[in-house]
Structure 1
Amino acid sequence: MDINDNLESPLKLQVSFNKLLQHYEKLAKSSDEFITAKAKRILKTADAFPVLREGFSDISILNERKKEIGIILQDSFSPVLTNNEIKTASVPFHNLIFNSSERFKNIIRNAGDDFELEIKNMPKDDKYIIACTIILNFCYGYNLNFKRPFYYEIPDVNGITHFYKILYNADFTEIVPNKNAPKITQKDYDELLDNFENIELWKEKFPPNSYTFKGFVISNIFDVTDDQSISNIKSTLIGEDKRKDDVFMEGFQDIFRSLLGINDLKVGFSIYNEADSVFERVYGVGMKSFLLGDKELLSCSDSLCSWSYNRLIKENKYFSVSDVDKMYKKAKGHAPHIITLHQQGIKSAIFAPIANEDGLMGVIEIVSNKPQVLNSINANKLEDVMPFIISAVERSKNDEENLIEAVIQKECTSIHPSVHWRFVKEAKDYIKSEFNGEKAIFKKIAFDNIYPLYGQIDIKGSSEARNKATRLDLMLQLNTVKNIFEKVLEIEPLPIYEQYIFQINKFLKGLNTHFQVDSEQQISGFFKDEIEPVLKHIYTLKSVKEDIDAYFESIDDKVNVLYNHRKDYDETIALINKEMASLLDRKQEEAQAMYPHYFERFKTDGVEHNMYIGESITKEDSFNPIYLYNLRLWQLQVMCEMENAYYQMQSEFPIALDVASMILVFNQPLSISFRMDEKQFDVDGTYNARYEIVKKRVDKAYIKGTKERVTQKGKISIVYSQKQDEIEYLRYIKFLQEKKYLDTDIEIVELQDLQAVTGLKAIRVNVLYHKNEDDKAFYTYDDLMKEIKA
């Protein structure tokens, strides 16, 4: 078998001891008789087998001449140090080792029969290129600093990974070009410098087997497990959101196992919440806390005894428990952390504070199922790694605070992406002023000359529907109590029960004839203050016990009243808002892709939305009125789609309510500014305020000379004030009629004057509906209702 089999390399490898033997030729002329005699003996051994000097690639020769090679390498592999040094003789880029110290042999033996020795941080694709850089140094004199530390990862007899650093001695090697080796010019060298990863270019300049390597390398190997473990901890802790990675904790524990030489070691964490004086669990995949056990959080005083509390929290010093079982017997239930460890089967542990100058941030918990393997002596090894853990926790704490702020901003004071750039600009200016010692003021954020769009899909008769639900619940509750008192009256004919029945009948009559705003409050007070105490008093009567149980079971715990019809109403409103808002949000993504604009929506009794579009928002010199017209058409089309989506899912809601849609057209550009107190945009100036007044009142406006509201179920109402708006929207309506979004009927009506606003008109047009997404037929609202009820 040849060394070069299955090896693609610019180097044709040959084992040769020529360079080493040349060294002994010089020593043979030494004035020291002992050195001279030894050198001559080694040279005589080698001369008997010229192949050892000439070079060979046949692996069988290594076995045949094993004795002679051992004699030649005797000084390099001192028998005195063989049990201490970790040393090998080999050829580069090959796992073939033909001589090694006893300590190296023991290490490989302990690693197990299935262990394969391999340089862990030597990428296979880089071997070829690294060989080329060696040729550039050896043959052409270029001083390329390609060297990087290489490592072996070798498990010991207990399965704990040790890290070994390899230092190569290439004093006994020579490299010579073969006939097919292209001459490397300065131009070639310059080109290669910028193309380390271009393997094809390197193969062109250094074809396979174009150079011959003669000699061998001596590898001096050092156990750097401690240093590498510390480095690995540092590397592991650097990076984004490792807690989401399910292999993070396992890898982190492996590093500590290597550092402390304990194969069953586990690592846990707990956060110290100074404000509440509690330890909390760290959230994340595979994260555990051996101090908390199965609890999410625990007060510090309930987690530690007074000594350990003072040690960790006050002094910020680590402590160890080398024998948990022994300490458990000694403490006699007075040390909470010992009890918790004992319950988890832990036999020894180290608790180390993660603390900086501000105090304790958390605790790292290292535990083992074996007694005494963790103790106050090996706890000192943590001194070298704690700075990296502290640094990572500080960064994580800052990231968490930033994330919390980001969540609050997102959920509570969301800034729309279209205007985010402006907030960033002002925030940068604020920070810059603060840094320069100037008075930092967050400047007013305003956008001028922008066009507003407003729309809403409103639940018709929501107040009446809620009043009806409230009335039905109250009547049901009153009748239930009335039945109880009628039963009690048969057993105990007391006038007071008759008085309660009289009062209930009075309330029932009032609910049937006229429901007033304060009716709900009056009746609720009656139940709470008068009825419930009496029901508890008569609970001992067997004939009504079940009825009273049923009554109290029907009372909702949260609102403390009977909550059946009102619950259906509230759930319906919530579902309508959720579904309509979700649909609008999905459609908005399409609109933003057409042209960026500001968008916000609100859930009330239905869903309202505001949009603003203009040059000052987009920041680019790209705005054209065509984008405004496009957004208006998009809005009208989406409102039709929302109407359709609503009536297709109406049957799924607890109560069948109707909706009505409206669009407000305002054709004059206006200014908006961000109001810091309310965390939202609002219009600027007296003239622009007119727009807000119309928005708030127009859906309740009547058609002039009638008592008919402008918004009606089954129709979309487009409110405007300018003739050019009417012409524009009639054009859109005609287009959407062609697409079967809208029916052919159109009416134009005048609105009664609102406060400080006159001259408003509206286009009303019927929406065309489908029974479901697959239905190809078109229905008006009335037709749809007939179809649904049929």
Structure 2
Amino acid sequence: MDINDNIESPFLLKVSFNKLLKHYQVLAENKDEFLAAKAKRVLKAADPYPELKDGFSNPKILQDREKEIRTILQDSFAPVLTKNEIKTASVPFHNLIFNSSERFRNIIKTAGDDFELKIKNMPEDDRYIVACTIILNFCYGYSLNLKRPFYYEIPDANGITRSYKILYNADFCEIVANDGAPEITFEDYEELLDNFENIELWKEKFPPNSYTFKGFVISNIFDVTDDQSISNIKSNLIGEDRRKDEGFMEGFQEIFRSLFNLKDIKIGFSIYNKDESLFEVVYGVGMSSFLLNKKEYAKCSDALCKWSYKKLLDDKQYFSVSDVDKMFEKSNGQAPHIKVLHEQGIKSAIFAPIANDDGLMGILEIVSYQPKVLNSITANKLIDVMPYIVSAVERSKSEEENLVEAIIQKECTSIHPSVHWRFEKEAKNFIKAEFNGEKAIFNKIAFENIYPLYGQIDIKGSSIARNNATKEDLTLQLNAVKEVFIKAGKIESLPIYEQIIYQIDDYLKGLKENFQVDSEQHISSFFDKEIEPVLNHLYKIGELKDEINNYFNSLDDKIGILYKHRKDYDDTIAMINKEMAALLDQKQEDAQAMYPHYFERYKTDGVEHNMYVGESITKEDSFNPIYLYNLRLWQLQVMCEMENSYYQMQHTFPVQLDVASMILVFNQPLSISFRMDEKQFDVDGTYNARYEIVKKRVDKAFIKGTDIRITDKGKITIVYSQKQDEREYLRYIKFLQSKNYLDTDVEIVELEDLQAVTGLKAIRVSVLYHKSEEDKAFYTYDDLMKEIKS
């Protein structure tokens, strides 16, 4: 019998008190006679048994030398503190405890005979790797900071799960390399730094039992249930779509039970509707309101008495009802909030306002079916958690408002201010016709003789980046599930497991050699229809529960697939679009101040924008071509600034992508009209459609006679067809070169012919990037005029 049996670890464990006894050897020479005598007594008890110093792994010795060990550890486990301290002596990564305080023993006894003490947040693979990092620190001097808190979760007499934080004292241990242990080089160390999750690599560098751990550790354990409950409340409130989560409310109530140390409590919410002075239920799985009982809403004045109304709505302070039955009798059943609690059999309750600087947002309701357990004293526990609940409600309200606004935008549309007058005019005509009893028709909204400006900052290679992210995610998920089936084959020798592994290998080969558009769909279907049913079968067997749980935990909760690299890609695209669109919107305010014009932008793989300027839009006799030239120069300058802004923030994105910018010059005025079915403006007429064709195709075009795309990272491409456009933009480029926006490498190229469009040319010029945002202001009217007239 050996404590190392059935344990895979780089450590060969030996219990030893050598370092502690050395400490007593020093104390034995102390001038303090009392300390010296005590130390000599400890040494005398240990001397006849050299195994206590040399180390042993037979647990029977712990029983045989129990008296001597207790003497050796007497100072570490002071009898005067044994009922207060929670402390154990053990060896690391092992459930062998050979000495403990009385309070620890009582806690374990209360948990029940079937309770198994386990560290909550220490996976089996991590145990091995953490042990290896200890060796790196202890034996090789590499300072690896892997310190993280470990916890026990132990039920108390009331069935409440309490959290205990473990702090280790490793002063009394020694670690030495055994014969044949591989020497760890600096190259090994560097390799391990980037491979924490690669258990096989760690086992290669630190084979099982290649080092001897000699000594023991003291665990100082602290009840941190309140702190952990607050942390759990915060964590539970961070996630999205919690109202759709079936287990959220039960888990949330369980956390509050731990916080209040009360098994018999429930949590409710009611939302405050300020506009109508109502309390309303929160729609969500498992959510209820004890204040409203089974009603969907109630007037605030009907749900509360005057005193409680003032307390919650005006003073924004919580209050308790420690004895509902007593208060029901005292108020003769007239206090509405007491009456509704009494009807539900509730005996005590706390009502807490969820409020911010803008006022009340809702009510948190905590109720119990026992009297007096919820009171004004226990209510003070809410002080630390209410800020998180307030933040969660604020975020929820903001998300709901955004959702409402998104639906309005989708179902209606937002009309740009520059053309709003035209829609208003037609709406008034519509109303007027109806009032006069005529047939009301909403006339077509169109603008003639206007000049278009189009630009885009496009993400280069977005399809390739997306495909690569998809391949990486699918490869990770296939390999993860393959490991499960390899282990399953060792437990049950079924041909179906071999067939599944063969299919997985086939998919992995396909991902590596021939990724197709439909590969993602086929593999996802394979997971849904073939893998999950078999995993459910394996889960019932039980031996692979941990592996299967780990696999499913690695999947995204919402979409049920491994969504790591794709999430990084999607997050990057979203962040790029958000930042670029925000910058463009900000710059647009200045452009509108120069001269009013129609503006719209779209988020795709990058940001596109359309601008239309002309007399028919501004509805007044003010248009001059100078304003068109002004906006063209503004557009070119802003595109340079967007390029600069992008590359200044590129390092903050999860995936490093490049962008390419393009401007399309269309020299002839055209007409646009509002398409009611699509809720957007589009060009009007067959001739003008040529402009839309060029817009959709030109950024994918090649330079004539080459396979080089017309757009490129680091450059701005200006596409045009008329010589006068070329001369105009070369002047703008020269001007922006003088401002250090553009480089001097100007090139003029011809484009390959597009369908139905020929004769296009392009100016390509490199952008100069700046580390700071200096020299970004718009230029004076005089500067602009000098450049245009030169």
Length-normalised TM-score, structure 2? 0.56
For residues 672 and 151 of structure 2, what CA distance do their matches in structure 1 show?
61
Matched-pair contact (CA < 8 Å) for 1:671–1:683: no
Note closer, same or farther for the CA distance 1:197–1:687 as it changes in structure 2 (3 Å cut): closer
For residues 387 and 55 of structure 1, what CA distance do their matches in structure 2 show?
52
For residues 353 and 275 of structure 1, what CA distance do their matches in structure 2 show?
17
Per the alignment, residue 330 of structure 1 pairs with 330
Letter in 1 for 2:114: D
Matched-pair contact (CA < 8 Å) for 1:160–1:257: yes
Measured after TM superposition, the shift of residue 68 of structure 1 is 1.3
Matched-pair contact (CA < 8 Å) for 1:413–1:679: no
Per the alignment, residue 224 of structure 2 pairs with 224
Letter in 1 for 2:94: H
For residues 334 and 228 of structure 1, what CA distance do their matches in structure 2 show?
40
Per the alignment, residue 215 of structure 2 pairs with 215
Task: Map 1:73-472; keep pairs closer than 5 Å.
Answer: 73-413=73-413, 428-429=582-583, 431-433=585-587, 443-445=598-600
Note closer, same or farther for the CA distance 1:428–1:232 as it changes in structure 2 (3 Å cut): same
Letter in 2 for 1:432: Q
Note closer, same or farther for the CA distance 1:41–1:671 as it changes in structure 2 (3 Å cut): farther
For residues 57 and 137 of structure 1, what CA distance do their matches in structure 2 show?
24
Measured after TM superposition, the shift of residue 433 of structure 1 is 3.9
Per the alignment, residue 643 of structure 1 pairs with none
Secondary structure of the 2:182 match is coil
Secondary structure of the 1:80 match is helix
1:681 aligns with 2:717: no
Tell me the C-alpha RMSD between the 2 structures.
Answer: 3.2
Measured after TM superposition, the shift of residue 446 of structure 1 is 9.2
Letter in 2 for 1:386: M
Letter in 1 for 2:123: P
Per the alignment, residue 40 of structure 1 pairs with 40
Per the alignment, residue 16 of structure 1 pairs with 16
Note closer, same or farther for the CA distance 1:375–1:42 as it changes in structure 2 (3 Å cut): same
Unaligned 5+ residue runs, structure 1? 451-618, 622-668, 692-790
Task: Map 1:484-523; keep pairs closer than 5 Å.
Answer: none
Secondary structure of the 1:229 match is helix
Matched-pair contact (CA < 8 Å) for 1:271–1:363: yes
Matched-pair contact (CA < 8 Å) for 2:683–2:689: no
Matched-pair contact (CA < 8 Å) for 2:45–2:68: yes
Task: Map 1:645-660; keep pairs closer than 5 Å.
Answer: none
Secondary structure of the 1:30 match is coil
Note closer, same or farther for the CA distance 1:54–1:424 as it changes in structure 2 (3 Å cut): closer
Task: Map 1:39-78; keep pairs closer than 5 Å.
Answer: 39-78=39-78
Matched-pair contact (CA < 8 Å) for 2:272–2:279: yes
Secondary structure of the 1:363 match is strand
For residues 436 and 233 of structure 1, what CA distance do their matches in structure 2 show?
45
Measured after TM superposition, the shift of residue 679 of structure 1 is 7.1
Secondary structure of the 2:81 match is coil
Measured after TM superposition, the shift of residue 689 of structure 1 is 10
Letter in 2 for 1:444: F
Note closer, same or farther for the CA distance 1:372–1:19 as it changes in structure 2 (3 Å cut): same
Note closer, same or farther for the CA distance 1:57–1:295 as it changes in structure 2 (3 Å cut): same
Note closer, same or farther for the CA distance 1:95–1:382 as it changes in structure 2 (3 Å cut): same
Measured after TM superposition, the shift of residue 424 of structure 1 is 7.7
Measured after TM superposition, the shift of residue 320 of structure 1 is 0.3
Measured after TM superposition, the shift of residue 428 of structure 1 is 3.1
Matched-pair contact (CA < 8 Å) for 1:446–1:674: no
For residues 368 and 598 of structure 2, what CA distance do their matches in structure 1 show?
58
Letter in 1 for 2:37: A
Note closer, same or farther for the CA distance 1:690–1:223 as it changes in structure 2 (3 Å cut): closer
Secondary structure of the 2:370 match is coil
Measured after TM superposition, the shift of residue 319 of structure 1 is 0.4
Measured after TM superposition, the shift of residue 40 of structure 1 is 1.1
For residues 201 and 120 of structure 1, what CA distance do their matches in structure 2 show?
25
Letter in 2 for 1:204: E
Measured after TM superposition, the shift of residue 214 of structure 1 is 0.4
Note closer, same or farther for the CA distance 1:167–1:408 as it changes in structure 2 (3 Å cut): same
Letter in 1 for 2:586: K
Task: Map 1:520-559; keep pairs closer than 5 Å.
Answer: none
Per the alignment, residue 699 of structure 1 pairs with none
Q: 1:235-283 CA deviation, whole Å, 9 max, x = no partner? A: 1111111111111111111111111111111111110010010011111
Note closer, same or farther for the CA distance 1:305–1:679 as it changes in structure 2 (3 Å cut): farther
Measured after TM superposition, the shift of residue 675 of structure 1 is 3.9
Note closer, same or farther for the CA distance 1:216–1:683 as it changes in structure 2 (3 Å cut): closer
Measured after TM superposition, the shift of residue 444 of structure 1 is 3.0
Letter in 1 for 2:582: K
Letter in 2 for 1:120: K
For residues 383 and 264 of structure 1, what CA distance do their matches in structure 2 show?
21
Task: Map 1:571-610; keep pairs closer than 5 Å.
Answer: none
Q: 1:387-423 CA deviation, whole Å, 9 max, x = no partner? A: 11111111111011111122233344499xxx99999
The number of residues matched between the two structures is 473
Matched-pair contact (CA < 8 Å) for 1:86–1:221: yes
Percentage identity across paired residues of the two chains: 67
Identify the range of structure 1 (361-370 vs 107-116) with the bigger mean alpha-carbon deviation. Answer: 107-116
Per the alignment, residue 486 of structure 2 pairs with none
For residues 30 and 426 of structure 1, what CA distance do their matches in structure 2 show?
73
Secondary structure of the 2:316 match is coil
For residues 186 and 436 of structure 1, what CA distance do their matches in structure 2 show?
57
Q: 1:705-752 CA deviation, whole Å, 9 max, x = no partner? A: xxxxxxxxxxxxxxxxxxxxxxxxxxxxxxxxxxxxxxxxxxxxxxxx
Note closer, same or farther for the CA distance 1:676–1:148 as it changes in structure 2 (3 Å cut): farther
For residues 420 and 408 of structure 1, what CA distance do their matches in structure 2 show?
27
Measured after TM superposition, the shift of residue 671 of structure 1 is 7.4
Measured after TM superposition, the shift of residue 432 of structure 1 is 2.2
For residues 446 and 316 of structure 1, what CA distance do their matches in structure 2 show?
44
Measured after TM superposition, the shift of residue 59 of structure 1 is 1.3
Length-normalised TM-score, structure 1? 0.56
Q: 1:7-54 CA deviation, whole Å, 9 max, x = no partner? A: 111011111111111111111111111111111111111112111111
For residues 234 and 47 of structure 1, what CA distance do their matches in structure 2 show?
54
Measured after TM superposition, the shift of residue 63 of structure 1 is 1.5
Instruction: Please tell me whether Structure 1 or Structure 2 has the larger radius of gyration of its CA atoms.
Output: 1
Letter in 1 for 2:388: F
For residues 25 and 261 of structure 2, what CA distance do their matches in structure 1 show?
47
Matched-pair contact (CA < 8 Å) for 2:457–2:661: no
Matched-pair contact (CA < 8 Å) for 1:672–1:682: no
Per the alignment, residue 629 of structure 1 pairs with none
Runs of 4+ aligned residues of structure 1 deviating over 2 Å after TM superposition are 407-415, 419-448, 669-679, 681-691
Measured after TM superposition, the shift of residue 3 of structure 1 is 1.1
Note closer, same or farther for the CA distance 1:348–1:43 as it changes in structure 2 (3 Å cut): same
For residues 152 and 123 of structure 1, what CA distance do their matches in structure 2 show?
13
Matched-pair contact (CA < 8 Å) for 2:268–2:289: yes
For residues 246 and 338 of structure 1, what CA distance do their matches in structure 2 show?
30
Note closer, same or farther for the CA distance 1:206–1:438 as it changes in structure 2 (3 Å cut): farther
For residues 401 and 420 of structure 1, what CA distance do their matches in structure 2 show?
30
Per the alignment, residue 565 of structure 1 pairs with none
Matched-pair contact (CA < 8 Å) for 1:354–1:386: yes
Note closer, same or farther for the CA distance 1:173–1:426 as it changes in structure 2 (3 Å cut): closer
Secondary structure of the 1:77 match is coil
Matched-pair contact (CA < 8 Å) for 1:316–1:355: yes
